[in-house]
């Protein structure tokens, strides 16, 4: 179990208002994996380093297991080497002057009580076996490939059987194919060992695939957190909606609020969206729709539909992506299982899947943090 309360970290030389970590509260239950997700500079790596004890927070309490490892108010600060942690760095930090086995065995040595040399070797080989590298034990570490170094780093982080595993963008230096495989391996191993894990990444696919809980961060704060499927399907802020996946965000005004449905007027027409707690008549809001929540057809369908023109189209193999201009706004629409594509200027009709339309507080009107430097469309 990891518990962070009111964590603040300021780096000297920056303006006082811009804290790297700015009042962070988070609890990671024992045995689960929390992903810290956010754009670069959002404070996710700093948070990880604070948990590890590599940096000192200015304020806030950190509890690992049942031990308070940091509480500046009480003058408690347990340094990194006394915390029950294992960490994998983005650069792997494999010591180039040691063999693979020496790298992995290092955390077992120099502690008290002393572990006999034979025992150390046995456990190092066992740890390497866990990551499938037992036969490379006596290679010099720099002779390994990136993926292998990654596995060594993982074995080294796990060998002490720490209470907490910390992973700092562990996959970002790997090739695309290897990345997916390592991601699944890390997840499988974490579940098998049942180790409490914090995983830092800026890659949304990675975050969704690997986490029990996804924590979206921006400007040193938590924007929102939740199950991966909830965070993706029902984001509560525009920041998360933009950061996770491709989305259409349309400005609108609430027309009526009824139980089970919120009607919003947008440029293209009226949408009967999912209920939005707290929305009132006349509120200015944003409506989020994913590209796959539209039904696209060439002929006017029976029910209500939006008429639009295809601006341009991208063929992606398993699907087509279209930019469709509707009432002066460009909507991104994704269509699976279509053979012939559409061309620029084609007239099409869109039927929105209203059960997938989500009302979000418009930026700046609600308590949600501003989207900040979030990219308009990720991907």
Partner 1 sequence: MTTRAKPWPLPTSGGRGVGQARPRRRIAVEPRYLILVMCALLVAYLALVPVGTMGVAAFRSHFLIGGPSHWTLRNFVTIFTAPWFGALVTNSFLYAGATAVVSTAAGFGLAWLVARTNTPARALVSVAAITPLIIPGILSTVAWALLFAPQVGPLNDLLASAGLPTFNIYSLPGMVFVQSMHVVPIPFLMGVAAFRSMDGSLEEAAAASGARPARVLRTITIPLARPAILSAGLLTFVQTISTFEVPQLIGVPGHRFVFVSEIYAALQAFPTDFGAVGVIGVFVLAIAATGLVLSARLGRSTATQTLTGKGFRPRVADLGRWRWAGLGVAAAFFLLAVILPLAMLVWSSLLPGYRPPSTEALRSVTLSNYRAVWTTPALVGSVEHSVVTAVTAGAIVTVLSAVVAYITVKTRARGRSLLDGLATFPIAVPSVVMGVGILYWYLVAPLPFHLYGTLTILVIAFVTIGLPYGVRFLTPGMARVSDELEEAASASGAGWLRTFQRIYLPLLAPSLLAAFLYTVIVAFREITAAIFLYSSGTEVMSVMVYNLWSDGSYPVVAALGVIMVAFLASAVVVVWLLGGRIQITRLTNQG
Binding interface with partner 1 (CB under 8 A): 52-54, 56, 79-83, 85-87, 89-93, 95-97, 106-107, 110-111, 142, 146, 153, 156-157, 160, 166, 168-169, 172-173
* Residue 87 vs 310, nearer CB to partner 1: 87
* Residue 98 vs 378, nearer CB to partner 1: 98
Cα 111 from Cα 105, distance rounded (Å): 12
* Residue 74 vs 339, nearer CB to partner 1: 74
Cα 327 from Cα 101, distance rounded (Å): 64
Q: How far is the CB of 116 from partner 1 (least distance, A)?
A: 17
* Residue 107 vs 352, nearer CB to partner 1: 107
* Residue 95 vs 234, nearer CB to partner 1: 95
Surface-to-core class of residue 356, CB atoms within 10 Å of its CB (0-12 exposed, 13-18 middle, 19+ buried): middle
* Residue 203 vs 292, nearer CB to partner 1: 203
Cα 118 from Cα 208, distance rounded (Å): 41
DSSP string, 56-100: --SEEEEEETTEEEEEGGGTEE--GGGSSEEEE-TTTT--TTSBH
Q: How far is the CB of 29 from partner 1 (least distance, A)?
A: 22
* Residue 28 vs 296, nearer CB to partner 1: 28
Q: How far is the CB of 52 from partner 1 (least distance, A)?
A: 6
Q: How far is the CB of 200 from partner 1 (least distance, A)?
A: 11
Q: How far is the CB of 93 from partner 1 (least distance, A)?
A: 4
* Residue 166 vs 268, nearer CB to partner 1: 166
Bridge partners, 160 (sequence order): none
Please choose, from the candidates 208, 226, 132, the residue with its C-alpha nearest in 3D space to the C-alpha of residue 199.
Answer: 208
* Residue 82 vs 344, nearer CB to partner 1: 82
- Phi, psi (degrees; rounded to nearest 5) at 141: -60, -40
299: left (phi over 0), alpha (psi -120 to 50) or beta: beta
Q: How far is the CB of 137 from partner 1 (least distance, A)?
A: 17
* Residue 9 vs 225, nearer CB to partner 1: 9
Q: How far is the CB of 173 from partner 1 (least distance, A)?
A: 5
187: left (phi over 0), alpha (psi -120 to 50) or beta: alpha
Question: 3-state DSSP call for residue 293?
Answer: helix
Q: How far is the CB of 71 from partner 1 (least distance, A)?
A: 17
Pairing of strands 269-273, 261-266: antiparallel
Cα-based distances in Å from 32 to 213, 227, 329:
8, 12, 42
Q: What is the largest CA-CA distance in the chain?
A: 79
Q: How far is the CB of 98 from partner 1 (least distance, A)?
A: 8
Cα-based distances in Å from 365 to 211, 286, 361, 370:
31, 11, 7, 9
- What's the first-to-final CA gap in the chain, in angstroms? 34
Q: How far is the CB of 362 from partner 1 (least distance, A)?
A: 37
Could you give the count of Cα atoms lying within 13 Å of 265 in the half-sphere of its Cβ? 8
Cα 304 from Cα 228, distance rounded (Å): 33
């Amino acid at each position: 179990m990891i518990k962070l309360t009111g964590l603040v970290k300021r780096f000297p030389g920056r303006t006082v208002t811009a804290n790297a970590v700015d009042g962070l509260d988070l609890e990671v239950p024992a045995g689960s994996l929390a992903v810290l997700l956010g754009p670069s500079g959002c404070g996710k790596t700093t948070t990880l380093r604070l948990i590890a004890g590599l940096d000192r927070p200015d304020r806030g309490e950190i509890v690992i297991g049942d031990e308070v490892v940091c509480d500046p108010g009480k003058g408690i600060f347990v340094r990194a080497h006394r915390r029950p942690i294992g960490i994998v760095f983005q650069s792997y930090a494999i010591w180039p002057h040691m063999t693979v086995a020496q790298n992995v065995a290092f955390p077992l040595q120099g502690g008290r009580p002393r572990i006999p040399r034979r025992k150390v070797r046995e456990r190092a080989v066992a740890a390497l076996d866990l990551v499938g590298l037992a036969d490379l034990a006596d290679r010099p570490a720099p002779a390994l490939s990136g993926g292998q170094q990654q596995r060594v780093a993982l074995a080294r982080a796990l060998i002490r059987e720490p209470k907490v595993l910390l992973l700092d963008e562990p996959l970002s230096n790997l090739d695309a194919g290897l990345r997916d495989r390592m991601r699944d391996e890390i997840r499988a191993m974490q579940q098998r060992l049942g180790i409490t894990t914090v995983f830092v990444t800026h890659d949304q696919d990675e975050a969704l695939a690997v986490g029990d809980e996804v924590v979206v961060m921006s400007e040193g704060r938590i924007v929102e957190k939740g199950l991966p499927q909830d965070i993706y399907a029902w984001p509560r802020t525009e920041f998360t909606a933009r950061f996770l996946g491709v989305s259409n965000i349309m400005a609108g005004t609430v027309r009526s609020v009824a139980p089970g449905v919120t009607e919003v007027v947008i440029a293209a027409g009226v949408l009967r969206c999912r209920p939005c707690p707290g929305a009132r008549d006349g509120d200015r809001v944003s409506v989020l729709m994913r590209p796959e929540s539209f039904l696209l057809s060439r002929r006017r369908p029976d029910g209500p539909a939006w008429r639009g023109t295809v601006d341009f189209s991208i063929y992606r193999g398993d699907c087509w992506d279209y930019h469709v201009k509707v009432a002066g706004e460009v909507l991104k629409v994704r269509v699976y299982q279509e053979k012939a594509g559409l061309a620029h200027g084609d007239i099409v009709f869109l039927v929105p899947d209203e059960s997938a339309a989500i009302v979000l507080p418009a930026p700046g009107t609600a308590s949600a943090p501003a989207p900040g430097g979030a990219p308009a469309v990720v991907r």
